Structure 1
Amino acid sequence: MTISKVTVIGLGIMGMPMARNLLAAGFEVTGHNRSAGKIAQFEEDGGRGAQSLAEAVSGADAIITMLPDSPDVEAVADGADGIFARAKTGALWLDMSTIRPDVAVRLAEQAREAGLRPLDAPVSGGEQGAIDGALSIMAGGREEDFAAAAPVFEAVGKTIVHVGPAGAGQTVKAANQLIVAGNIQLLAEALVFLDAHGVDSRAALDVLGGGLAGSKVLDQKGQKMLDGDFAPGFRLELHHKDLGIVTAAARESGVALPLGASVAQLVTAAVQRGDGGLDHSALFALARELSGQTGNRAE
Structure 2
Amino acid sequence: MGGPMAANLLKAGHTVIGYDAQPAALEKLGAAGGKAADSVAAVTADADVVITMLPDSPHVEEVILGAGGVLENANPGLLLIDMSTIRPDTSIKVAEEATARGVRALDAPVSGGEKGAIDGVLSIMVGGEEDVFTAALPILEVLGKTIVHVGPSGAGQTVKAANQLVVGGTYALVAEAIVLLEASGVDAGRGLDVLAGGLAGSRILELKRESMVARQFAPGFRIDLHHKDMGIALAAAREAGVALPVTGLIAQLIAAAKAQGYGSLDHSVLLKVLENVSGRTSA
Q: TM-score, normalised by structure 2?
A: 0.98
Matched residue, 2:191: 204
Q: Which runs of 5+ in 2 are unaligned?
A: none
The answer to whether 1:291 aligns with 2:275 is no
SS at match of 1:149: helix
How far apart are 1:45 and its partner, in Å?
1.4
Which residue in the other structure is 2:227 paired with?
A: 240
Counterparts of residues 1-299 of structure 1 (less than 5 Å): 14-295=1-282
Q: Secondary structure in 1 aligned to 2:146?
A: strand
Aligned partners of 1:271, 1:45: CA distance in 2, in Å? 34
2:270 and 2:182 mapped to 1: Cα distance?
16
Question: What value does the CA root-mean-square deviation take over the aligned residues?
Answer: 0.8
2-side partners of 1:40 and 1:263: how far apart? 37
How far 1:62 moved relative to its partner?
Answer: 0.8
Q: Distance in 1 between matches of 2:112 and 2:2?
A: 13
Structure 1 alignment gaps of length 5 or more:
1-13
1:36-62 per-position Cα deviation (integer Å, ceiling 9, x unaligned): 221122112110111111101111111
What's the secondary structure of 2:239's corresponding residue? helix
For residue 79 of structure 1, report the CA deviation from its aligned partner: 2.2
Aligned to 1:128, the other structure's residue is in SS state helix
Q: Is the 8 A contact 2:78 2:104 kept in 1?
A: yes
Distance 1:227 1:89 in 2: 52
Q: Measure the CA separation in 2 of the matches of 1:272 and 1:202.
A: 28
Letter in 2 for 1:85: E
Q: Give me the whole-angstrom Cα distance separating, in 1, the residues matched to 2:228 and 2:147.
A: 24
Identity of aligned residues (%): 56
217-226 vs 115-124, which moves further? 217-226
For residues 190 and 264 of structure 1, what CA distance do their matches in structure 2 show?
Answer: 19
Please say if residues 243 and 264 of structure 1, whose CA atoms lie closer than 8 Å, have aligned partners that are also in contact: yes
Paired residue total? 283
CA distance in 2, matches of 1:114, 1:208: 52
